[in-house]
């Protein structure tokens, strides 16, 4: 194109720019884009929404009663309710502010009962931007900041203007990473996109769902053929169950996209409720890979995690990291979450009890695989073990079997190794404690991850590569061997079995 110095429109012809043409606006950061200073509040749209909602409810409930006194009463009372709500909503909105002060988030709330919270962002566990359908219509979003204090400690900033929520999320993550708040968002690279067909197929292809569908169909047919309305009593709970376990995940995980960035794992999903989750590095306390019976035929799995902030009522919503993914991807995610470790290389030992399970520990990870039909592989990094327990129930005197329990922050993962022999369990516990002691580096916390150098590991005691668990009878302990010894149990084919040699780490 001639005259390359002048910006030319993207026109097919080589004509000079027309008179009305202007260069496209340069995307420049405006001063109001800076969210690191000043105070912010929810979008003003919340006030009319609140007023309209309260008025509608009032008219619907009290309208018929007031109508018996006359039409004028309805109008007068409705106007009174409108102004009353306005008088409450306006100051609440005006005083409900939040803002960043250095690397603290300060949130003021309430009108009658004034509340003020100051949150150190370095303790942040996860940040979610949630947009329910109703908020999407108005272009609003909710920002959820999860702290490590359990159910009541999450901070929910509702009804924010969406660009504000996005910029706030970036600034909060930058502060949590130890960078200045004006840092741009960390780049991300794609990890996994869930095709809708796979989601639909995998959600359908499960024994309880298939059975429910078949029973539902039979009941409906019977009801239609025999004109029998009693089947409604059975159809209703079935439908509710399907809504909860089939339709719910289907709509929640539509358009699922996971990506990795230096700020951790980013998940975007949802049809009616768009969510964007960010789990910073080192915040995942434990992971489990769940493979239901029929999913193993498909070669897919589900990944769930314990994150300290996702405790309580919302943990079911947020704890799922990959709803449906190929097994390879699932374990690749586990390796991404726990760097410098390889869950598939941990040597596993089967137990000799009716319920098959395998368990293993190495320098970085505790891995246990169990379940006859639904195989569950649990992975806990040894440095994140909150407490290790040896539990001997009342029956253990007769069976000689004890359970090794690994305590993690609350979540779907409950790591344990049931049915181990007492001596073996004790050696296992000692190994777990010893590895944990070596893996916990006091300087390597998870706060301000961007400013930290690469994590260094504490060298073990001189001369011992790994703690030995020699059997008293002299034979090499099975913890040194790999897990593919005997067992025709189902868990062997789960692929987390040891490969015998742990490559040099």
Partner 1 sequence: MSPALAWYRRIVVGVLCLIVGGGGAVLLSVWASWYWGAAWAVLALAVLVTGWILAGLFRGSWGYTEGAEELYLTYGVFVRQLVVIPYGRMQVVDVTADLLEQALGIATVQVRTAASTADTRVVGLPLAEAVRMRDRLAARSESFSTGL
SS3 104: strand
Q: Given the complex with partner 1, which of 185 and 407 has the nearer CB atom?
A: 407
Residues binding partner 1: what is the number (CB under 8 A)? 34
* Least CB distance to partner 1 at residue 278 (A): 17
Residue range at the interface with partner 1 (CB under 8 A); choices 101-109, 316-324, 440-448, 464-472:
440-448
Residues 40 and 98: beta-carbon distance below 8 Å: yes
Beta strands in 243-299 (DSSP E): 256-261, 264-269, 274-279, 284-291
Name which position in 390, 423, 452, 466 contacts partner 1 (CB under 8 A).
390
Which DSSP helix (H) or strand (E) runs through 336?
A: helix 327-337
Q: What are phi and psi of 99, to 5 degrees?
A: -175, 170
Give the contacts of 401 (CB within 8 A, at least 6 positions apart): 353, 395, 418, 419, 420, 421, 422
CA 427 to CA 477: how far, in whole Å? 10
* Token pair in block for residue 294: 């029929």
CB of 454 to partner 1, least distance (A): 16
Least distance between partner 1 and beta carbon 121 (Å): 14
Q: Could you give the strand order of the β-sheet that contains 274-279, starting from the edge strand earlier in sequence? A: 155-161, 140-146, 126-131, 274-279, 264-269, 256-261, 188-194
> Least separation, in Å, of the C-beta of 261 and partner 1?
21
Alpha-carbon distances of 424 from 106, 154, 351, 401, rounded to whole Å: 51, 41, 10, 10
Does the footprint of partner 1 cover residue 339 (CB under 8 A)? no
Using CB under 8 A, pick the residue from 280, 356, 360, 410 that binds partner 1. Answer: 410
Q: Which of 317, 319, 336 is nearest to 192 (CA)?
A: 336
- Is residue 185 a contact point for partner 1 (CB under 8 A)? no
Nearer to partner 1, 363 or 497 (CB): 363
Q: Could you give the C-alpha distances from 302 to 181, 289, 328, 367, 416, in angstroms and in order? A: 35, 6, 11, 16, 19
Q: Which of 440, 452, 457, 466 touches partner 1 (CB under 8 A)?
A: 440
Residue among 188 and 405 whose Cβ is closer to partner 1: 405
Pick from 193, 389, 471, 505: which binds partner 1 (CB under 8 A)?
A: 389
The H or E element containing residue 381 is strand 375-381
Q: How far is the CB of 93 from partner 1 (least distance, A)?
A: 35
Q: Does 442 bind partner 1 (CB under 8 A)?
A: yes
Q: Interface residues for partner 1 in 186-245 (CB under 8 A)?
A: none
Closest CA to 125 of 333, 11, 232, 285: 285
Buried (b) or exposed (e) across 178-209, using 16+ Cβ within 10 A? bbebebeebebeebbebeeebbeebbebbeeb
Which residue of 186, 337, 367, 388 would you call a contact of partner 1, by CB under 8 A? 388
Residues 84-143 that bind partner 1 (CB under 8 A): 123, 125
CA distances in angstroms from 140 to 134, 277, 331, 383, listed in the order given: 9, 16, 36, 40
Residues in 255-314 that interact with partner 1 by CB under 8 A: 285, 308
Largest CA distance in the chain: 96
Among 354, 394, 459, 503, binds partner 1 (CB under 8 A): 394
Say which DSSP state 112 is in.
S
For the bound state, the minimum distance from the C-beta of residue 434 to partner 1, rounded and expressed in Å, comes to 10
409 binds partner 1 (CB under 8 A): yes
CA–CA distance, 463 with 477 (Å, rounded to integer):
20
Question: Of 386, 399, 468, 485, which one interacts with partner 1 (CB under 8 A)?
Answer: 386
Using the minimum distance from each CB to partner 1, give the nearer residue, 159 or 177. Answer: 177
In terms of CB distance, is 277 or 285 closer to partner 1? 285
Please give the residues from 443 up to 482 whose contact with partner 1 meets the rule CB under 8 A: 444-447
Binding mask 354-383 for partner 1 (x = CB under 8 A): -----------------------------x
Q: Closer to partner 1 at the Cβ: 158 or 414? A: 414
d(Cα 395, Cα 397) in Å, to the nearest integer? 5
Dihedral sign (CA 348, 350, 351, 354): positive
Helix (H, G, I), strand (E, B) or coil at 158: strand
Told to check if 387 binds partner 1 by CB under 8 A, we report: yes
Interacting span for partner 1 (CB under 8 A) from 11-19, 152-160, 368-376, 402-410: 402-410
Please select the residue that binds partner 1; options are 429, 431, 435, 496, rule is CB under 8 A.
429
Contact string 20-59 vs partner 1 (x = CB under 8 A): ----------------------------------------
Q: Provide, rounded to whole angstroms, the least separation between the CB of residue 270 and partner 1.
A: 28
* Positions in the binding site for partner 1 (CB under 8 A): 123, 125, 148, 285, 308, 383, 385-394, 396, 405, 407-410, 414, 429, 433, 436-437, 440-442, 444-447
């Amino acid at each position: 194109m001639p005259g390359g110095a002048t910006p030319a429109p993207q026109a097919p012809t080589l004509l000079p720019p027309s008179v009305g043409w202007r260069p496209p606006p340069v995307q420049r950061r405006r001063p109001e884009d800076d969210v690191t200073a000043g105070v912010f509040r929810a979008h003003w749209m919340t006030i009319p929404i609140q007023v309209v909602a309260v008025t509608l409810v009032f008219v619907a409930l009290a309208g018929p009663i007031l109508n018996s006194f006359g039409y004028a009463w309805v109008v007068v009372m409705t106007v009174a309710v409108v102004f009353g709500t306005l008088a409450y909503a306006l100051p609440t909105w005006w005083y409900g502010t939040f803002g960043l002060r250095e690397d603290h988030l300060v949130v003021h709330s309430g009108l009658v009962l004034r509340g003020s919270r100051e949150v150190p962002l370095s303790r942040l566990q996860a940040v979610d931007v949630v947009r329910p359908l109703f908020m999407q219509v108005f272009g609003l979003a909710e920002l959820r900041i999860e702290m490590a204090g359990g159910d009541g400690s999450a901070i929910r900033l509702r009804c924010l203007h969406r660009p504000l929520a996005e910029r706030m999320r970036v600034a909060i993550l930058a502060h949590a990473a130890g960078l200045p708040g004006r840092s741009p968002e960390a780049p991300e690279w794609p990890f996994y996109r869930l095709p809708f067909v796979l989601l639909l197929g995998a959600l359908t292809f499960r024994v309880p769902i298939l059975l429910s569908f078949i029973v539902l169909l039979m009941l409906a047919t019977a009801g239609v053929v025999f004109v029998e309305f009693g089947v409604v009593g059975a159809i209703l709970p079935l439908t509710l169950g399907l809504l909860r376990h089939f339709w719910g995940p289907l709509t929640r995980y539509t358009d699922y996209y996971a990506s990795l960035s230096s700020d951790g794992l980013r998940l975007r999903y949802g049809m009616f409720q768009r969510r964007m989750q960010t789990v910073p590095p080192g915040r995942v306390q434990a992971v489990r890979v769940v493979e239901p019976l029929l999913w193993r035929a498909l070669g897919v799995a589900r990944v769930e995690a314990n994150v300290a902030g996702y405790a309580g009522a919302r943990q079911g919503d947020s704890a799922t990291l990959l709803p449906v993914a190929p097994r390879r991807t699932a374990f690749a995610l586990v390796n991404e979450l726990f760097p410098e470790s390889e869950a598939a290389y941990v040597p596993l030992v089967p137990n000799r009890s009716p319920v098959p399970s395998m368990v293993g520990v190495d320098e970085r990870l505790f891995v246990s695989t169990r379940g006859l039909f639904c195989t569950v592989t649990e992975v806990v990094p040894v440095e994140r073990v909150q407490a290790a327990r040896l539990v001997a129930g009342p029956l253990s005197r007769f069976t000689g079997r004890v359970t090794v329990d690994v305590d993690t922050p609350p979540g779907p993962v409950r790591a344990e190794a049931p049915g181990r022999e007492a001596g073996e369990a004790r050696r296992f516990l000692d190994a777990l404690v010893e590895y944990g002691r070596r893996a916990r580096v006091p300087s390597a916390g998870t706060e301000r991850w961007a400013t930290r150098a690469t994590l260094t590991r504490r060298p073990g005691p001189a001369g011992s590569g790994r703690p030995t668990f020699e059997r008293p009878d002299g034979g090499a302990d099975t913890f040194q061997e790999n897990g593919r010894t005997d067992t025709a149990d189902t868990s062997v084919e789960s692929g987390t079995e040891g490969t015998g040699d742990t490559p040099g780490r």
